[in-house]
Amino acid sequence: MSTLADTGMLTTVEEFGLDTSAIDQNLLDAGVVDGSAYGIPIGANTLSLYYNAEVLEDAGVDPASITDWDSLTAALAQVTDAGHEGITFAGIGTEEGSFQFLPWFWGSGADLTDLSSPEAVEALELWKGWLDEGYAPNTVINNSQNTVWEEVLTGDFAFAENGTWQVNSAAEAEFETGLVQLPGKDGGVAPAPTGGEFIVAPVQEDTARYDVTRQVVECMTTPEGFVETANTFAYYIPPTAEGQEQLLTESAGDPDLTPWVEAVQSAEGRTSDGLGTDYPLISEALWTAVQNALSGAATPQEALETAQSEAEAATS
């Protein structure tokens, strides 16, 4: 959104006179640049922690006990001691790697303006520690979110970080699955990054066309329009409380989307803290640091110090 807005090709919602008061602010913020909103989210997705209920039962782990980093790591020790695989995630050297690392980064209290903070180092040490202890496989270094799910479907893993787009596959798996929220370091739900789509309106020479554009936008952003979009993309979460309530009513627990509504309500836009077009440059430095730390090319501290220097140079 920030990249498109920076080209000057988009109008603002204020210019259109669109009412965004019902939109969840954390979702709207992903399309805000320099204080102006350049679009309306029509559906959001995010990440959470899937689990294999059969593996946890065999290892004697109660998923309700997963409330912070320590309890998750303790659970990973239990399942690996019981002969199972612990956790898998996508640490690939692309935006997907940053996307998957951010819940742990933000969940530590770290901020994208300071990649080498003590909190950021703790988050990367967490991931590296899981590899060193055998709680996560070395494949995570090259895993995309799709290959993570391929590992999940083997039935060997206790936990996997993935998104709403796997809801149907999880329901159809040959084993019972469940969901717990990604935990913050000291408890609570960690902010995961938002994905999804915005509806935007391009700048047009013939401003008389804006009336029709406004009608299209308003049609798509009714509660019914949001739910239709959510179901079409299987599943997006509507960006308004009314749309979320209607989605949960219509889904009627099949699948149960309640945890995903909660996850989206706690999510955070990758550019919503004012980073704008600097975000991709910072993200590349971050995913490179993750790669270097997980592969053993550098310690988490060294990797993130280099990342911060690279980010500062790229954005100055």
- Dump the DSSP string for the chain: -HHHHHTT-B--HHHHT---TTB-HHHHGGGEETTEE--EEEEEE-EEEEEEHHHHHHHT--GGG--SHHHHHHHHHHHHHTT-EEEE----SSHHHHHHHHHHHHHTT-BTTBTTSHHHHHHHHHHHHHHHHTSS-GGGGT--HHHHHHHHTTT-EEEEEEEGGGHHHHHTSSS-EEEEPPBPTTSSBPPPBPEEEEE--B--S-GGGHHHHHHHHHHHTSHHHHHHHHHHHT--B-SBHHHHHHHHHHHTTTT--HHHHHHHHT-B-TTTTTTGGGHHHHHHHHHHHHHHHHHTSS-HHHHHHHHHHHHHHHH-
Residue 68, Cβ density class (10 Å: 0-12 exposed, 13-18 middle, ≥19 buried) = middle
**77-128 pLDDT, tens digit each:** 999 999 999 999 999 999 999 999 999 999 999 999 999 999 999 999 999 9
Q: How many other β-carbons are positioned within 10 Å of the β-carbon of residue 57?
A: 12
Predicted confidence (pLDDT) at residue 257 exceeds the cutoff of 70:
yes
In the predicted model, is pLDDT for residue 299 greater than 90? yes
| pLDDT computed for residue 146 by the predictor | 97
Give the pLDDT confidence score for residue 313 in this predicted structure: 98
Average pLDDT, the chain: 95
Per-residue pLDDT tens digits for 22-66:
999 999 999 999 899 999 999 999 999 999 999 999 999 999 999
Tell me what percent of the residues of the chain surpass a pLDDT of 70: 99
pLDDT band at 253 (very low <50, low <70, confident <90, very high): low
- Of 242, 166, 228, the C-alpha closest to 199 is 228
Q: Say if residue 7's pLDDT is above 80.
A: yes
Work out the average pLDDT over 282-311.
98
Rounded mean pLDDT, 255-263: 92
Give, in order, the Cα–Cα distances in Å from 119 to each of 46, 138, 203: 22, 24, 42
pTM, 2 dp: 0.95
**Under a CB-based contact definition with an 8 Å cutoff, are residues 42 and 198 in contact?**
yes
Q: How confident is the model at residue 174 (pLDDT cuts 50, 70, 90)?
A: very high
Is the per-residue pLDDT at 272 higher than 90?
A: no
- Taking 80 as the threshold, does the pLDDT of residue 254 lie above it? no
- For residue 273, what pLDDT is reported? 78
pLDDT at 247: 93
